[in-house]
Structure 1
């Protein structure tokens, strides 16, 4: 067995563990570390699953043509350009393995950025590097900074658009020019536990990726939920409004959150790990980074609880931008 890549991702503590350490009930924990919706979407009801449950004993023979067509309509592409996976992470791993192998280099455009990119490179047996890469990866908007940033000119280019719905900016028009767009239903659609992601690519590239994907990689129950969600796409306006309110409140406290085009805010802090630990002990986990923390935008009530906690903490600010 080959050794695992050394680049570790965030080991998110279980809600029950956070509650134990904070001395509260699990229901009192408010998670600010996952960039997910604060509540289940209205369409996630038993009625949406009834037909899928009646067929739960069978495999999805023939794949998921209905889902591919619905995604294609939502994204403005042909169904043949859609590649499905068990979450965006699964699709990113699929793409990196398709393009790279031992001895190859993959360029990663942002730093810091989504930790899975480094893990995917290692699992493909490749190395991270800018010298003649076989693939370039870009997160847009970037996680954890929230920046939209410029689109790299390199090709082939994988663009992680997990937070596309919040920015409204996409590279999907470039899929016939060597760009592969990866998205998820975990964020704006509120279906993180359903584990459904997809790629949008040129037809030839998509066909090759689909040939390399495992058969029936997505649960039919998850497919039913996604189809219900695509019938009524999310309104992210309230999240964007709350993001700006939260950013202003943080600035009034004396912190300097970075501008964001996503559903989270990055806050530079010299003592980010310490602040994250102290917030966790209050039942308010945030995502720690080497130069600060990342905060999921939830709703006014939850965010006010976090703001009250910040007002009682003494923090050292990092090099944020005004």
Structure 2
């Protein structure tokens, strides 16, 4: 049986969290989940522009065996649904994952959407032939694109960061590099929102086309407020074009007290590329992280395997490949 989960039902939510931790940590010794309270706040105060539907799968005895979290864009890319499916490792190969995926496909059809995305994480060496890949293909999914997941061991040597910062500085005259904790100042929100809305269009995504994401200052402010309630810290670095005041580049790091650091995204405006701004903002944010929030084991990031420019920056910083993230897709016109 599959049923909708109330995010304010404490008993069910504890089970959802435990299944997610077990499933996402299976054969991934580096996985470090957010604390339950932080995760629960995020589930109970979602982004209003991307409503969520949380489902639990139960066996005949009424025990929760798996979950499916659907993200349903409200303002852009309204032909798409994104699903995060987890099954308790001890309950795998009993059909629960198949039930959850088929339910997600059916729900996509009910919503009038045409494309469903589900992702899998596998060891870097065998991502294309892993059991998760065979499972996805058996249900009619095809790979849309693949990303290489990399870890940057912390701390990064200070002399490496200083050298990279000095090298980038020689290329970005006319830009200021600014860093912030807990969100950027209100006066910069409109420019940052405009920049972030372009990421979905420019990020490599195989043959899948995306509309510009609707990012507004209000949406960013809501995100910052939610993260404050979660006691989750976001570090942001921006490149500002001094002549125009345009936010030309940004990067974000986010973390909870007990978890590794997530690289949320780095983007350089298409009209301001060629000035090493991507490297400049990443280095500035890492320097802020190591100065004010030391002690985390690593930063994790993922880049589409053909995103040569961003991959080269990450390798120069010291990121190392650990696994492959495959974005699987199904179109109801082809299923």
Q: TM-score, normalised by structure 2?
A: 0.28
**Counting strand residues as a fraction of each chain, which structure ranks higher?**
2
With the length of structure 1 as denominator, give the TM-score of the two structures: 0.29
